[in-house]
Amino acid sequence: MIGNDIIDLSIARLENKTNNPRYCKKVFTGKERDIIEAESDKEKMLWTLWAMKETAYKAHQRRFNLARKINPLDYECDSESIVNIGEWKYKVEVDRNEHYIHCSTTQDNLQSYIYPSLEFLFENFLTDLREQNIFRHDEIGVVKNRYGIPSILDKTNSETIPFSLSHHGKFTAIVIPLINC
Amino acid sequence: MSEKEIMDRLKSIVKPYAQRQEGLDNFEESTDFINDLEINSANLVDVVLDVEDEFNIEIDNDSMEGMLTVGDAKSIIQNKLKHP
């Protein structure tokens, strides 16, 4: 099941969360706080773990159709690629550079797209999908279901493939599974 | 503390985190922090901390879990003020 999260480091770094122990205690388990403390760039590690947890949360919530919750402590990163929630494990792929952190789940074969602005977001996304022949047909559009979960609709055969969208600062990241295509 | 005072204080707390003015203009109990105010999920925890400071209460993880709307926050605050 898909989930993804993007962090614009130019915004996140300003929040200086590593110097806010109350915040850290509400969001990160003892084990996660140890992982953060062990790093030289603590702020970047903190936001990496946040993005991993958020990614696993989105995938887990979709997988079981769960009501929304603010429960970051229930999701624990046990390394830089695995997040545990109860008995479930999510493998998360982390893509980081000096500008952003992007995490996505890797259960499915996923294709990621990162856009530097919100302008013509879906138009650009659809153009990229068509140019890369991700779908068999070019007649595709974006639809949302009643839970607000967005999908690509293949208008030729009415198939829908849900995608996951994350937005932070100037960046928007979209991941879409390549299965069923 | 009156309901109106709680709502007014809540509104000033969320203002710096809200990214959607329309949500602030129609600030009411059904206002959803993420969908209507477009508060970043990482900043929801900041809202919780600011509520703790403003009302001098402690919001445990179980209460935080369900704080999705302004009305949820209001009920949590009222409960904690009644049973500190």
Please indicate whether, in this complex, the C-beta atoms of A50 and B42 are within 8 angstroms of each other: yes
Facing residue for B65 by CB, picked from A12, A50, A70: A70
Please indicate whether, in this complex, the C-beta atoms of B45 and A69 are within 8 angstroms of each other: no
Q: Which of B20, B32, B34, B41 to probe the A interface (max A CBs under 10 A)?
A: B41
Does pLDDT of A23 surpass 60? Answer: yes
- B24-68 per-position pLDDT tens digit: 999 999 999 999 999 999 999 999 999 999 999 999 999 999 999
Q: So where are chain B's domains?
A: 3-82
In the chain, the amino acid numbered A112 is S
Please indicate whether, in this complex, the C-beta atoms of A70 and B46 are within 8 angstroms of each other: no
Does pLDDT of A135 surpass 90? Answer: no
Give the class (CATH, top level) of A4-105: alpha beta
Q: What three-state secondary structure class fits A97?
A: coil
Considering only alpha carbons, which residue of chain B is nearest residue A54?
Answer: B41
CA gap A105, A10 in Å, rounded: 24
Q: Is A70 on the interface with B (CB under 8 A)?
A: yes
Does pLDDT of A2 surpass 90? Answer: no
Give the class (CATH, top level) of B3-82: mainly alpha
Write down the ipTM of this complex: 0.94
H or E stretch at A73: none
Q: Which residues belong to CATH 3.90.470.20 in chain A?
A: 4-105
Cβ-Cβ contacts under 8 Å for A145 (sequence gap 6 or more): A151
CA gap B65, B62 in Å, rounded: 5
Residues of B in contact with A168 (CB under 8 A): 40
